[in-house]
């Protein structure tokens, strides 16, 4: 949690999480709400739209000239295989796949039969894949991504002279949040710079006031500060690796528990 002044440690009764509502009753957010008698709502602050085939064609990318594909999200997987379907492209059996996490790798099975010797999986972050890239330096990598993405993978590839093509396959846009104009929450929880951007797009005259802001990850935290907003809760923390953990630490202090 960021160091905050005592005057911002007001009791918390409501939280808006800028993500879709998690499935099931075992969500840590459900447990948090029940434990501290909170109102926790969920709302996706961003939306994604596929790049039309005509727009993708302008990028002049030959997918089958690559020997490996890097996936960092489910959105990337869905939109990549949609492009393949549009262009009647079948992925060869020898293609290698580098996935940012187990969840992403598992989702890939929706589209292809996984062959372990062709699959390389990180723990959670892009940096987890760097050792794999180094060991497989001769591959020709394709990186399907959004028009808004982190620089971590492109910077690494360029720095290490690894053949690499970035393919913009979907756009990340601000969702329409106009119905929230008169709704107030004690805490707004963000997970990406795109979510912060959406707040600004939807509410250009947004005044933070007593609203606390929580951010997950350094790039999200930076986006908050870049807008001269106060970052009250920062995750992950050594003793709270999740957003719900960081929120709970803050709530205990703010609600005098």
Pair (56, 149) in one structural domain: yes
Residue 1 domain-assigned?
Answer: no
Question: What per-residue confidence (pLDDT) applies to 175?
Answer: 94
Pair (232, 246) in one structural domain: yes
Pair (161, 232) in one structural domain: no
Pair (24, 70) in one structural domain: no
Pair (63, 37) in one structural domain: no
Strand spans (E) along the chain? 14-17, 39-42, 46-50, 68-71, 96-99, 119-121, 141-146, 164-174, 187-190, 212-216, 233-235
Residue 5 predicted with pLDDT over 70: no
pLDDT digits (tens, 9 = 90+) for 74-124: 999 999 999 999 999 999 989 999 999 988 999 999 998 877 679 999 887
Strand spans (E) along 103-211? 119-121, 141-146, 164-174, 187-190
DSSP 64: G
pLDDT digits (tens, 9 = 90+) for 28-48: 999 999 999 999 999 999 999
Pair (121, 221) in one structural domain: no
- How many residues does the structure list for the chain? 257
| Mean pLDDT confidence for 163-186 | 93
94 by DSSP, 3-state: which? coil
Label residue 24 by pLDDT band (50, 70, 90): confident
Pair (239, 185) in one structural domain: yes
pLDDT digits (tens, 9 = 90+) for 132-159: 999 999 999 999 999 988 889 999 999 9
d(CA 45, CA 193): 11
Residue 70 domain-assigned?
Answer: yes
Pair (149, 216) in one structural domain: no
* CATH number for the domain that contains residue 127: 3.40.50.10090
| Mean pLDDT confidence for 160-165 | 95
Residue 209 domain-assigned?
Answer: yes
**What are the φ/ψ torsions at residue 77 (nearest 5 degrees)?**
-65, -50
pLDDT digits (tens, 9 = 90+) for 191-249: 999 999 999 999 999 999 999 999 998 889 999 999 999 999 999 888 888 999 999 99
d(CA 198, CA 209): 18
- Domain with 222, as residue range(s), is 14-45+177-194+205-255
Pair (234, 246) in one structural domain: yes
Residue 6 predicted with pLDDT over 80: no
Question: What per-residue confidence (pLDDT) applies to 3?
Answer: 52
Question: What per-residue confidence (pLDDT) applies to 61?
Answer: 96
Residue 200 domain-assigned?
Answer: no
Pair (147, 238) in one structural domain: no
Pair (26, 113) in one structural domain: no
- If one counts the domains in the chain, the total is 2
d(CA 55, CA 80): 14
Pair (130, 116) in one structural domain: yes
Question: What per-residue confidence (pLDDT) applies to 254?
Answer: 92
d(CA 13, CA 9): 12
Residue 5 domain-assigned?
Answer: no
Residue 2 domain-assigned?
Answer: no
């Amino acid at each position: 949690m960021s160091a905050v002044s005592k005057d911002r440690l007001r009791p918390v009764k409501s939280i808006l999480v800028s993500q879709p509502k998690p499935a099931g009753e075992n969500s840590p957010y459900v447990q948090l709400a029940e434990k501290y008698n909170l109102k926790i709502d969920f709302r996706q602050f961003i939306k994604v739209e596929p790049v039309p085939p005509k727009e993708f064609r302008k990028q002049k990318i030959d997918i089958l000239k690559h020997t490996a594909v890097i996936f960092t999200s489910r959105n990337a997987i869905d939109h990549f295989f949609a492009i393949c379907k549009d262009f009647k492209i079948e992925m060869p059996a020898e293609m290698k796949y580098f996935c940012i996490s187990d969840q992403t790798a598992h989702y890939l099975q929706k589209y292809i039969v996984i062959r372990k010797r062709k699959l390389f999986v990180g723990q959670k972050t892009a940096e987890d894949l760097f050792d794999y890239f180094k060991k497989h330096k001769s591959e020709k990598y394709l990186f399907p991504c959004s028009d808004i993405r982190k620089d971590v993978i492109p910077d690494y590839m360029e720095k290490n002279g690894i053949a690499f093509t970035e393919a913009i396959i979907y756009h990340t846009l601000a969702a329409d949040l106009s119905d929230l104009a008169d709704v107030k929450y004690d805490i707004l929880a963000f997970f990406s710079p795109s979510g912060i951007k959406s707040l600004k797009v939807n509410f250009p005259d947004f005044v933070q006031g007593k609203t606390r802001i929580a951010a997950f990850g350094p790039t999200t935290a930076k986006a908050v500060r870049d807008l001269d907003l106060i970052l009250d809760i920062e995750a992950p923390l050594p003793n709270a690796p999740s957003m719900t953990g960081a929120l709970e630490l803050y709530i205990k202090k703010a609600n005098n528990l």
